[in-house]
Structure 1
Amino acid sequence: MDLLRSLPIGLYLEKPLTWLHKLDPRVKLAWLMSLILSPLLANVYWRIFLVLFLIIITGLALIPWRVQKKQLSFLLFFSTLIFIMTSFAPDGFNITYQPRLPNSEISITQPTDFQYIIYQIGKFKITQRSFDLAIRVSTLFFTLIYSSNLYLLTTASEQITAGMEELLSPLRKFKIPITEIILTLTLALRFIPLVLEEIQNLIRSIRTRAINWKKLGIKKSMQVWVIVAERLLENILLRAEQISIAMEVRGFTTPNQHQVQWHQLKLSIFDFLAILSLILFWIARISIGSN
Structure 2
Amino acid sequence: MEKMIFGRYVPVESLIHRLDPRAKLLFVFAYICIVFLANNTATYAVLLVFTMALILISRIPIIFLINGLKPIFLLIIFTFSLHLFFTEGGKLLFQFSFIHIYEEGLRQGIFISLRFMLLIFVTSLLTLTTSPIAITDGLESILNPFKRIKFPVHELALMMSISLRFIPTLMDETDKIMKAQTARGVDFSSGPIKDRIKAVVPLLIPLFVSSFKRAEELAIAMEARGYRGGEGRTKYRLLKWSGADTGVFVFLAILVALLVYLRS
Q: Give the TM-score of the pair, scaled to structure 2.
A: 0.79
Q: CA deviation at 1:37?
A: 0.7
Shift in Å, 1:69: 4.7
Deviation per CA, 1:254-288, whole angstroms, max 9, x where unpaired? Answer: 3213x3636321012222222221222233333x1
1:284 to 241, 258, 262: 258
2:10 partner letter: L
Alignment pair present for 1:238 and 2:213: yes
8 Å Cα contact 1:165/1:182 also seen in 2 = yes
Q: Work out whether 1:70 is the aligned partner of 2:67.
A: yes
| Counterparts in 2 of 1:28 and 1:126: CA distance versus 1, 3 Å | same
Contact 2:146 2:153 in 1 (8 A): yes
TM alignment of 1:1-291, pairs within 5 A? 3=1, 5-14=2-11, 16-44=12-40, 45-71=42-68, 83=80, 85=81, 88-92=84-88, 116-117=90-91, 119-120=93-94, 126-210=101-185, 222=198, 226-257=201-232, 259=233, 261=235, 263-286=237-260, 288-291=261-264
Structure 1 residue 20: deviation in Å? 1.2
> Between Structure 1 and Structure 2, whose CA radius of gyration is higher?
1
Q: Which amino acid aligns with 2:60?
A: I
- Measured against aligned partners, the alpha-carbon deviations of 1:68-114 in whole angstroms (never above 9, x if no partner) come to 4524678889767855x367424345xxxxxxxxxxxxxxxxxxxxx
Q: For the structure 1 residues 46 and 231, does the alpha-carbon distance in structure 2 shift closer, same or farther, using more than 3 Å as the test?
A: same
Q: Are the equivalent residues in 1 in contact too, given 2:10–2:128 (CA < 8 A)?
A: yes
Greater mean deviation of Cα atoms: 144-153 or 39-48: 39-48
Unaligned runs of 5+ in 2: none
SS of corresponding position for 2:93: strand
Is the Cα–Cα contact under 8 Å of residues 23 and 271 in structure 1 kept in the other structure? yes
Q: CA deviation at 1:205?
A: 2.5
Which TM-score applies when normalising by structure 1? 0.73
Whether the 8 Å CA contact 2:16–2:57 is kept in 1: the answer is: no
Would you say how many aligned residue pairs link Structure 1 and Structure 2?
Answer: 257
Q: Secondary structure at the match of 2:35?
A: coil
Residues 7, 168 of structure 2: 8 Å contact kept: no
* SS in structure 1 at match of 2:143: helix
Gaps of 5+ in 1: 94-115
* The structure with more helix, counted as a fraction of residues: 2
SS at match of 1:119: strand
SS in 2 for 1:38: helix
Counterpart residue type for residue 52 of structure 2: I
